[in-house]
Amino acid sequence: MKTLEFYRNLPEKECRECGCKINEQHESYLYECEHCMNKHEE
């Protein structure tokens, strides 16, 4: 499989808290968007 096709087939990650799309620039192990992660820090 070509690398380009592999990335194209990846499902878009969604925040498990609010369901919004997670920016792919974030680390791949994140399951929550920036907004929800900030809430946990309070």
Binding site for Zn ion (CB under 5 A): 15, 17-18, 33, 36
Give me the half-sphere count of Cα atoms (radius 13 Å) on the Cβ side of residue 26: 15
In the complex, minimum distance from the CB of residue 19 to Zn ion, in angstroms, rounded to a whole number: 7
In the complex, minimum distance from the CB of residue 36 to Zn ion, in angstroms, rounded to a whole number: 3
User: Can you give the length of the chain in residues?
Assistant: 42
Nearer to Zn ion, 9 or 11 (CB): 11
Contact 13, 20 (CB under 8 A): no
Q: Which DSSP symbol is given to 26?
A: S
In the complex, minimum distance from the CB of residue 38 to Zn ion, in angstroms, rounded to a whole number: 9
